[in-house]
Every structure is written in structure tokens, then in C-alpha cells.
Chains A and B, each alone.
Chain A
Amino acid sequence: MSNLTVMKIAVCVKQVPDSWAEKKMVDSRLDREGVDAVLNDLDEYAVEEALRLAEAHGGNEEGGPHTVTVISMGPERATEAVRKALSMGANDAILITDAALAGSDALTTSAVLAKTIADGGFDLVICGTESTDARMSVVPAMISARLGWAQMTFASKVTVDPAASSVSITRVTEAGVDEISATLPAVISVVEKINEPRYPSFKGIMAAKKKTIESRDLATVGVSPTSAWSQVKDAAPRPPRSAGVIVTDGGEGGSALATFLAEKKLI
């Protein structure tokens, strides 16, 4: 493989409802209008890691050879989330917005992202491990499958050797710890333990206002619209947990706890 003097890194970020916000379903879809939207916090780690990889090999700003491009699929207002990633230090962005994409599932999302990545000539894609709204943890694996690129997911450590065009990661999941390596291009997802995302500086925020966010619709991406391959039939709020019994320990708290467990037949 060629010596990668210029690394083109893509970071996939999603705008999600604020995790503190109360979420509800309207017409079998998440009501995204009624809640504050933020950059998926797990994707901040992906942006940070992309910037660190670029910086470790000469940088992506002010004459540095590498580029970090933010890619997001979402409504117009996802611009805010994209802008945040730009203010952290990414170079530019592509936002795919199309009325036909409303209500897309992971299969469509991954198709749109994969096509955009393939056309952009990227060497490396970095994702978060999970979007805090869908919580599927499938999009990075799907992008990898669609592109036929190495899947390097759940990374707690990423090392890239541009000269050898290779990447290695430490994968951390409940199944244990794996050391994995591959030749670029590759799709990476990073766990939140990997780094501490930087706060956008004032300078970064000002600079981000001038950075390019290219808007694309489905036709421009070149993916034909398909309806979602899975469908919500119905959604109902579960009864809220009824207020429990709370005792203050005056020396008998532990016994009271044991009595509760016995009454509930849990012991």
C-alpha cells in the first residue's frame, strides 16, 4: 500500500435529542421537534480521536497535510451539531438532508453514509459506538460491511502508521480485550474511555462559522430512497414506577432492607 502522506479522515456524527430531555413517540417515531438537540456525546470522542490522529502525524489545520471531514445525515437543524464538531477543529463537513430520509433505519443510514464515504476518497472513518437515541450500535459495522473495509470497532486505543498505511486498535467489549490490526482503509468506532474531548475554543467557534458545510440531498449522494425495512407498529408509555418506600437509616436500615427483600420473595 502507498505511503499515506495525506490522510483523509471522515467522522460520522449524529444529532440526537438531549439525553436529559423527556422523549416521546409521535406517530410511531421519536418526536425530535419537541426536544433540544445536541451532538451525540459519544460522537465527540470520535471527533477528538480524528483530530488527535491527524495531529500525531502533522496536523489538519494551518498547513497540516491531513483533513478531518464531518459527515452527518439528518435534518437541516443538524447543522448545529455539525458546527460543534467543526468548532472542535474539523476542517469541513457534509450534511445529507432529504425529506425522503425522515424515519430512516440503520440500513438506509449506513447506505447513505457508506456511499458518501466511498465517493469522498477517505482513508479512515471514525464513528461513536452508539447513538444515544437509537442505541443500536450497528451503523459502524454496517458501513464496514457495505464498503468492504476493515471493521475496527469498540476501540479504546487507535494507532495509525501512515507510512505503512496500517491501523491497529485495542477493542474492549464484554467479551474481553482484543488487539486488532488492518490495512487502511478502515472503519473505526471509539469507546468513551479513549480520550477526553476538547472544548471548542473561542477561536475554534469563530473559525467554524467560516468552514464549509456542504449540503447534499439523496440524488446528489446517489442512493435511491427506500422505506425503512423495519417498522414500529405501536408505542405506549409504560406506567411510571410508583413511588417506592424510602426509610432513613436510624440503625435499622439494613434489617428493613432485608425485610423488604423477604416480603418481595427476592430471598
Chain B
Amino acid sequence: MSTVIILADFQADAATKTTAELATVGARMGDVCAVVLAPVGKGAALAATVSHGPISSIAIVESDAFATNGVAASADALAQVATAKGAAAVLVASHAFGKEVAARVAIALESGIITDAVDVSAEKVATQLVFGGSTTVHSEVTHGIPVITLRPNSVEPDLSASSAATETVAVTISDSAKKSVISSSQPPVKGGRPELTEASIVVSGGRGTNGDFAAVESFADTLGAAVGASRAATDAGWYPHSHQVGQTGKTVSPQLYVACGISGAIQHRAGMQTSKTIVVVNKDPEAPLFEICDFGVVGDLFAVLPQATTAVAAAKA
């Protein structure tokens, strides 16, 4: 069977659900080898968190260049492992870092690349939703081995326990991959809520919150949801930029997206249009987001949300 390389995805030193999603898709095409890029001395600890999904083996690469030289060094290592394993495909998570790593791997392997796949078949045909989710496209790589980035939260992950054998793989990071030097890194501030791109429910607030996200947050918390924001809200400093949903923020595709006090500009839609169910709360009946919602309430979010929060809490009790 051929080997499919996935780049294990981590957050706060633990493998994310996205890692299991990559493995799930990868296993359709071959034996999954999860690559763990780790600082020197931390490989085993990180690999131990890669514990779910159909993973056949784990390749640990340790180098301090990953933290110091970021994308370029990570891509350099991943391409070398892919070559050493004779990989049939490389799968990476579709976020800024993952896409850039994939971009450089594609150059190194002289391979075609497909980004933002929401699914990949056993035949290595990728499904993408383009033009704001209005069109489904199937595409395939026709040169080299497919390098594909998979959008988090798009496939149902196989979360069965994995106890894959680990091995350490040595690579040489080239000088040209060390040209940009990271002097400091600050991880995003994490609250107690689920991560935006992984959450199955997202409740977002916009300019209509007028800076008061309390109602949005309490509703999110009763639903176990992540909190998102429109650019108007992040620009005003009401919510951290890392929570922005949209073209220049995050792309989310949850089971349920609740937009509160958000008008629905095209740039916001670009980041949430493929959500399975869309609910809109807005006091302006003409707000464009109503055009694509499954359920809408024309009303004041400061009245609607608290009532909905109480009702949901009661229904759950």
C-alpha cells in the first residue's frame, strides 16, 4: 500500500481534531504517516498527543528551526520526509500556515497543489466549494504527487484510538529556508471556548452588538459554541482579530452559524457561507444576510438572545 503523508496539526502542544480529519481522509488513499515537526527534545511528547485517527506511523522530525524559521523550515522538512517515504500524497490543514507550507512543498516536489478541499476521495479527487460556496468543484493533481490542504471541520473524523509506531527522521534544513528569523511568538489568547474553525456551532457578533458581546457570549456558552465576530467588531477593538470570520479572517463551516447584528457583507459571507445551518438575528429586515439564512429573527439582539439563551438552557436541562 502507498504512504500518504499528513502534517500533524497542533495547538498549545496538543494535536487538534484536524489531525484526525487529515488522517481519516488520508487513510482512504493509503497508509497514513503523520509527520510531527517538533523543537529539539519535544518530539516524543508532541507525538504522544497524536493519538486518534487511522494513523499507521508517526515520523518525528526535531529541529529548533521550526520555531525560528517557521513556514520555510517546516516545508523543507515535510518535503524531505515525503520524498524519503515515497509518498503518494501530502495532506496539510488549510489555514495560513498550512497553506504556505503546502505551497513550498509543492514547489520542492514539483507537484500540483489543491487548497481548501472539503473532501478528498480514494482516487485523490478533491472537492472544493468555490465562489462563496455557490459552486462545487472536483479537481485533481495531474503532475507529481497531490499536495492538498483540507479545510478543518469538513469531514467526520475517525476518532478511534491510535497507537502508531513512532520513528525519528533526520532532515537537513537548507540555508535558504532559514532566511527569515522569528524573534518572538505570541500564541493567540485562548478562552475556555472551542476553537473557531473546529467548533460545530459558532455564534458571531457584529457592529450591532455596539461593543457589548455579553449576550453573544452567554448564548454561545449555552450552546457550547465558539464566538466569532465581523470585521466591524474586530476593527473597533470589541473582539480580538483572531476571532474575525470572513475573507480576511477565518473560514468556518460549522453545523450551525448564528450571526447577531451582522449585516452580511460579501467579505463576511465568504467566511461562513458554507455553514450547514445559518441563523440570523438582526433588527433590520433588509439585512442581506437574511437572504441566505435558514431561520431569521428580525429583532433586537439584546432582547432575542437572552430569551433564546434561557429557552435553550431550559430545553437542555
Contacts and interface: CB of A to CB of B under 8 A. Distances in A.
Nearest to A266: B256
A195 interface: no
Contact of B316 (A42, A145, A267): A267
B49 interface: no
A207 interface: no
A20 B266 contact: yes
Interface stretch (B27-35, B106-114, B162-170): B106-114
A249 B304 contact: yes
Nearest to A177: B186
B255 A244 contact: no
A174 B188 contact: yes
A60 to B, nearest CB: 25
Contacts of A164: none
Interface in A140-157: 141-142, 144-146, 148-154
Interface string B134-163: 111111111110100000000000000000
B: contact size bracket: 35 or more
B266 A253 contact: no
Contacts of A145: 72, 75, 103-104, 107-108
Give chain B's interface secondary structure class: mixed
Given A137-B100, A142-B103, A176 B281 contact: no
Contacts, number: 270
Interface stretch (B53-61, B81-89, B240-248): B240-248
A258 B184 contact: no
A: contact size bracket: 35 or more
Nearest to B131: A23
Interface in B289-317: 290, 292-300, 303-312, 315-316
Interface string A88-107: 00000000000000000111
B99 interface: yes
Contact of A233 (B125, B131, B294): B125
Given A153-B71, A235-B136, A257-B295, A267 B312 contact: yes
Contacts of B113: 105-107, 136, 138, 229-230
A135 to B, nearest CB: 7
B205 to A, nearest CB: 15
A136 B277 CA distance: 25
Contacts of A19: 266-267, 270
Interface in B179-205: 179-188, 196-197, 201
A252 B300 CA distance: 12
A234 interface: yes
Contact of A232 (B138, B146, B247, B307): B138
Contacts of B134: 23, 237-238, 240
Nearest to A233: B138
Given A145-B104, A257-B279, A233 B140 contact: yes
B43 to A, nearest CB: 19
Contacts of A256: 297
B39 interface: no
A25 B307 CA distance: 44
Given A138-B113, A174-B95, A181-B183, 6 more contacts: A105-B113, A172-B241, A229-B112, A249-B297, A253-B297, A267-B312
Interface of A: 19-20, 23-25, 42, 105-107, 110, 129-130, 132, 135-139, 141-142, 144-146, 148-154, 172-183, 186, 191-193, 227-238, 240-241, 244-249, 251-262, 264, 266-267
